[in-house]
Structure formats: C-alpha cells, structure tokens
C-alpha cells in the first residue's frame, strides 16, 4: 500500500473517531456546552488539557525551532512548562472555587463591572484568534504535504471537522474528543522519536539519546552535532545566545510562562471537574501527560537537525546531486515549504550557514511543471539570495530553504522510517492542531454568547437561545480562523508566542490581582487590561505587519530594550501591573462584599459544588 493511501486511511479513521465521539457526547445544555457539565474525571480532564495545551506549536513547530535555535530553543520548553506549573498552583484552584463558566465572567464579577467583563472578552478574542491562526497554519501544512492537496483545501477540510465536533458537542464533545486526540498525538510523536534515537545512538529512549554515543562510533551525539554545525558556519548547537540575546530569551521565557497562566482555553479546563480538589489533580495529570512530549522534544530537534545535515550534504560533505535526492525532498518542494537554489551551479544540494533565498521562497509561475525547471531539475525561485560566502571559513554556500515547521513532519521521511509511521505522524499533527483549535473556538463562542449576550446585553435570553448563539458564534469563528490560517504572520510557534504575549499583558495580571489583591478595583483592572493589550498588540503589528507592511524593520537593533515581538508581552505585563496599581490607588476601593469575596476565594472552605464540598 502506498504512503498516500495509508495516510488517507489513518487520518480518515481518526476523523471518524473524533466525529463519533462528538455525536455520542452531544451537548444538551449550556452547562455541558461550556464546561462539560462539570463532571469530567481528573485523569480524563488531565489528558484533555494536555491535548488542548499541546497544540500545533508543540507538536509541529517546537522541535523545529529547537532544531535550528539549539540552546535558545529551550525558552519554549521552560516558558510553556513553567507557565503551566504557575497556572496549576496560583490560579486554577481558586478560579474553580469561584465556580463560573468563563474567565470574563470571573473578571466581571470580581471587578463588579460589566465593562470589565466586556474588555476581558475583547482581550480573549484577540488572544484566541491569534492563537488559532497558528493551529490552522499547522492544519494546512499537514494536509498540503500528506494528503497532497493545496493549503486552502486542507484548511477547509480541517475547518469542517472542527465545526462538527466543536459546534455540535461543545465542551463535553471537545473534552472526550481531546482524550482520543491526546492518545493519537503522543503515540505519533514518540514512535518516530524512538525509531530515530535507536537508529542514531542504539538507545531507544529519546530522553537519554541526547547524552548517548553515536552508533557509528563517531562520538557523543551533541558533541558531533556541535562540530558538524561549526564546520558549516553555524554557531555550536549547545552554545548559548547564538541567534538571540540573553534579554530577549529571558523576555520570551517570561512572556510564555505568564501567558500560559492567562490563556482562557486552558483555564476553562479547570471548570469542567466536580471539585476544587479535582482541579489540582487534573493539573498534576496534565503536567504528567505534557511532560512525555516535552522531554522528548529536545532529542527530536537535535536528531532532526543532524539527520537533515547528513542526508543533504552526504557522507563526504560535498552535497548530494539533486537527481539522487530522496523522494521526500521533491514532495516538500511542491508544498512550497522547502526550496533549493543552485548557487554554484554544480547540480548538488548543499546545506550550510546563510540564506538560500531572500525570505520565504517564491516560486516562478508554474515551477511545479517540467517546463519551469532549472538546468539541474530545480524549481525556479524568484527571490534567491546573493549566495555570498567565504570559502576559507566554509566549503560552500547554503542552497536550501527549510521551513522550520516541517522538521517534525519530515523527520520520519528523512530517516526512511516505515510508511505507517509517516502516516501516523500526519494524524498526530492534525490531532494536535485540531484539538487546540476546537478549545479556542469554544472559548470565543462562550465569550460572545455567555459573556456578551447573556451576561451583558441580553440577560433575559433563554438557555436554548444562548446555546444557539454559542453555536453560531463558533461557526463564524471557524471561518475567521480559516482565513487567518491561510494568511499567518509567522511560523506556528512564533504566532502562538504572540498569543501568549497578549495573554501575559492583558488577562494574567488582572486574574492574579483579582485573587490576591483585595484593593484592586474595577478602574484599575480595566485600565490595566486595555493598556497592556494595546501596547503589546501595537508592538507586534508595528514589527510584523500581519495585514499590512511592517512599520519598523523587525531587526534586533530596532527592538525596544532588545526584546523581539515574541517576548514583548513581558513588558506589556509590567505596563498592565503599573497602570492598574496606579489607577486603583487614585480611585475608590472595591465594595466591602467584593473584598470579602476575594478572601473567601483563597480560604480553603466554602459550600456547594462550586467550592469542592
């Protein structure tokens, strides 16, 4: 059976499973639609949280970033896992004790203000749509390669699947679907990692392979990778701060960490369990399930990089004739995510430091057709770089552009693993992207139907009408998400980092202050959220453009304090805190009953299901 047929079968079977679960667990009430009825077992909720959390950024993009950044790639591991611990210890149990459906509902009640609730919804929508753009890009990448359809067609298929189980099943359907998706994605991530780790080091545990000797006796894995990259003109893989400064790495790590603790689609997971104690247990299980992938990712990144170098440059290091490149190279070229420009016109594909093309490759019209191929068979690139290099420092110029988001997906093909493993990775990548996309779309839906309509503008709306409004909002959100996926501003993990920065600068401070600061009032919270959001969003748009050309060149010398758009959420958070504290000091204290409410949230006592007793 050929790879494409096998992929259709595996991916199709996973889709059938997801849709079947959505039909089985169809939401019949707003409680089931928003928080799955509050009756999910902690282990199941932990697995669903892990799937919700480990998005396309974790599955597809993170190891790719680690593969190219090396040491600096650890900021994604530290930020995301550290943030989850912060969320589990500081926020989740208290929010669960408060007993509301959504984060804006907590903010509206805690700050005794409909305006605060509306501002929180606005922040939530900006965060969620930024995040979902990364997920939909991941869906498009997987489909464009493995199902061999164009990215737009892939997005439409992915949107249809998400629409069915998010709009039909609500949180109840999404929760149990995500349990299945976690099983698919973790199996798909670890199986090829085990294969490749054993292939290179003889050690089947990827976590230990990084410190193991190479199976061919050429030395320790990381030492060999360091030497190979230095010989090609790159910085050493394990050396710090080759591509990013210390301040930028610190800012990105903090932004990812506190952004994690402010992500609405993760926080809402802790509203789906029966008791406060179960929220804590869910957090433990989620961290356990997340750790399986996150401790595997560094090995996947390192193995992917050395695998790419060995395959492209060949055993003698002189490059591989294009006519002898494996089939995966041409297939990924067709996707537009890999390109070769023959700078020295020798017909060999060669990989080294430097850019093969100016920015993302733009292929000449009809470059996938035989008549548009170059002299050596390459697809014509409209934007090649100058290809300048110093032959005294490196043997040849870089001739290939590799999109970082393809490394995990292409790794099994580069390693020549069995077709069933490659098909499994495709299903895993789709599962990771769709699971998070569904959670984000539901949060957007709840923000519009529950917080804006029911909670603010139409308080007398019936439960049936609210449920309908939620499903319509989710449907519209799917369409917007598809557009953003077709026009993403950056790599998957970078887009996701922007979302974390927005969460760090807008929602996290007011949630934290809402739990631990009795004096924080509505004026301070509203001013803090708006200032943090506007500052961070403005900075990202100024440097990234998104829907227009960037206003400022996105280079380190132009960054504020040397901090990139991915890390600016750290400064935005500080702006939020400063504005909120200043405004609250200049305005009236919260009412007495609100101050008592804050004390009650933190005290381990209470009554009813909402407090865990």
Contact indicator for 578, 96 with CB cutoff of 8 Å: no
Residues shown for the chain: 613
Q: Is 340 helix (H, G, I), strand (E, B) or coil?
A: strand
* DSSP state, residue 316: T
The pTM of this model reads 0.80
Q: In which residue are the tokens 């292929």 written?
A: 363
Percent above pLDDT 90 for the chain: 14
Q: For residue 500, is pLDDT > 80? A: yes
Note the pLDDT of residue 25. 59
Contact indicator for 478, 159 with CB cutoff of 8 Å: yes
Note the pLDDT of residue 36. 45
Note the pLDDT of residue 509. 94
Note the pLDDT of residue 153. 78
Note the pLDDT of residue 234. 83
pLDDT digits (tens, 9 = 90+) for 299-340: 998 988 988 888 888 887 788 898 888 888 888 887 778 888
Q: For residue 549, is pLDDT > 80? A: no
Q: What are the φ and ψ backbone dihedral angles of 337, each rounded to 5 degrees? A: -105, 5
**Rounded-to-integer distance, Cα 189 and Cα 191, Å:** 6
pLDDT digits (tens, 9 = 90+) for 181-226: 888 888 888 999 999 999 889 899 998 888 888 888 888 888 888 8
pLDDT category of residue 5 using cuts at 50, 70 and 90:
confident
Note the pLDDT of residue 525. 95
List, in sequence order, every beta strand (DSSP E) within 304-426: 320-321, 338-340, 348-349, 400-402
**Rounded-to-integer distance, Cα 306 and Cα 333, Å:** 20
Q: For residue 397, is pLDDT > 80? A: no
Q: Is 424 helix (H, G, I), strand (E, B) or coil?
A: helix
Q: Which residues pair with 379 in a beta bridge?
A: 373
Mean pLDDT of the chain: 80
Q: What mean pLDDT do residues 10-21 have?
A: 79
Q: For residue 55, is pLDDT > 90? A: no
Cα angle 87-93-95, degrees, rounded to a multiple of 5:
85
Comparing CA positions, the residue from 297, 515, 511 lying closest to residue 411 is 297
Percent above pLDDT 70 for the chain: 86
Cα angle 321-323-326, degrees, rounded to a multiple of 5:
95
pLDDT category of residue 571 using cuts at 50, 70 and 90:
very high
Note the pLDDT of residue 609. 45
Among the residue ranges 257-271, 495-509, 567-581, the one predicted with the least confidence is 257-271
Question: For residue 468, what are its two tokens?
Answer: 């309908």
Note the pLDDT of residue 590. 93
**Rounded-to-integer distance, Cα 242 and Cα 249, Å:** 11
Note the pLDDT of residue 520. 94
Q: For residue 44, is pLDDT > 70? A: yes
**Rounded-to-integer distance, Cα 172 and Cα 34, Å:** 8
Q: Is 470 helix (H, G, I), strand (E, B) or coil?
A: helix
pLDDT digits (tens, 9 = 90+) for 130-158: 777 777 777 777 777 766 776 677 778 77
Q: What mean pLDDT do residues 467-479 have?
A: 78
């Amino acid at each position: 059976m050929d790879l494409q047929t096998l992929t259709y079968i595996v991916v199709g079977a996973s889709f059938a499973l997801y849709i079947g679960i959505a039909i089985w667990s169809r939401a019949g009430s707003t409680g089931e639609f928003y928080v799955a009825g509050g009756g999910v077992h902690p282990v199941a909720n932990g697995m669903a949280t892990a799937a919700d959390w480990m998005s396309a950024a974790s599955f597809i993009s993170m190891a790719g970033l680690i593969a190219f950044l090396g040491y600096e790639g650890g900021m994604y591991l530290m930020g995301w896992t550290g943030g989850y611990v912060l969320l589990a210890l500081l926020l989740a149990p208290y929010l669960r004790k408060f007993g509301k459906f959504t984060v804006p509902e907590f903010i509206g009640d805690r700050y005794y203000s409909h305006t605060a609730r509306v501002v929180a919804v606005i922040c939530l929508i900006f965060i969620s749509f930024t995040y979902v753009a990364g997920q939909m890009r991941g869906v498009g990448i997987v489909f464009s390669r493995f199902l061999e359809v164009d990215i737009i067609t892939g997005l439409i298929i992915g949107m249809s699947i998400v629409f069915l189980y998010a709009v039909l099943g609500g949180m109840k359907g999404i929760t149990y679907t995500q349990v299945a998706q976690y099983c698919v994605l973790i199996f798909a991530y670890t199986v090829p990692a085990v294969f490749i780790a054993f292939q290179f080091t003889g050690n089947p545990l990827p976590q230990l392979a990084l410190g193991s000797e190479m199976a061919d006796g050429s030395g320790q894995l990381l030492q060999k990778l360091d030497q190979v990259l230095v010989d090609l003109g790159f910085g050493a893989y394990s050396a710090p701060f080759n591509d990013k400064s210390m301040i930028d790495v610190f800012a990105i790590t903090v932004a990812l960490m506190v952004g994690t603790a402010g992500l609405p689609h993760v926080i809402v997971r802790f509203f789906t369990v029966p008791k406060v104690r179960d929220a804590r247990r869910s957090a433990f299980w989620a961290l356990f399930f997340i750790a399986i992938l996150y401790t595997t990712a560094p090995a996947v990144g390192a193995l992917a990089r050395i695998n790419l170098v060995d395959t492209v440059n060949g055993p003698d290091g002189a490059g591989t004739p294009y006519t002898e490149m494996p089939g995966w190279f041409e297939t990924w070229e067709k996707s537009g995510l890999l390109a070769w420009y023959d700078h020295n016109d020798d017909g060999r594909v060669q990989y080294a430091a430097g850019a093969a093309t100016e920015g993302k490759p733009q292929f000449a019209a009809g470059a996938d057709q035989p008549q548009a191929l170059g002299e050596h068979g390459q697809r014509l690139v409209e934007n090649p770089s100058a290809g300048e290099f110093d032959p005294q420092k490196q043997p040849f110029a870089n001739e290939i552009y590799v999109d970082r988001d393809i490394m995990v997906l292409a790794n099994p093909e580069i390693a020549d693993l069995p077709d069933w493993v490659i098909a499994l990775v495709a299903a895993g990548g789709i599962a990771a992207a769709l699971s998070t996309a569904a959670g984000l779309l539901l949060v957007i839906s709840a923000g519009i139907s529950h917080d804006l309509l029911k909670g603010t503008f139409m308080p007398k709306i019936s439960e049936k009408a609210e449920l309908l409004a939620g499903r319509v909002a989710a449907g519209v959100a799917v369409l917007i998400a598809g557009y953003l996926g077709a026009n993403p501003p950056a790599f998957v993990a970078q887009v996701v980092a922007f979302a974390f920065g927005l969460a760090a600068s807008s929602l996290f401070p007011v949630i934290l202050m809402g739990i631990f600061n009795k004096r924080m009032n509505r004026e301070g919270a509203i001013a803090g959220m708006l200032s943090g959001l506007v500052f961070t969003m403005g900075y990202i748009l100024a440097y990234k453009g998104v829907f227009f050309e960037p206003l400022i060149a996105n280079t380190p010398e132009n960054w504020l304090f040397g901090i990139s758009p991915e890390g600016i959420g750290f400064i935005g958070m500080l702006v939020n805190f400063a504005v909120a504290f200043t405004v609250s000091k200049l305005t009236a204290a919260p009412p007495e009953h609100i101050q008592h409410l804050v004390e009650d949230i933190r005290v381990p006592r209470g009554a009813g299901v909402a407090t865990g007793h």
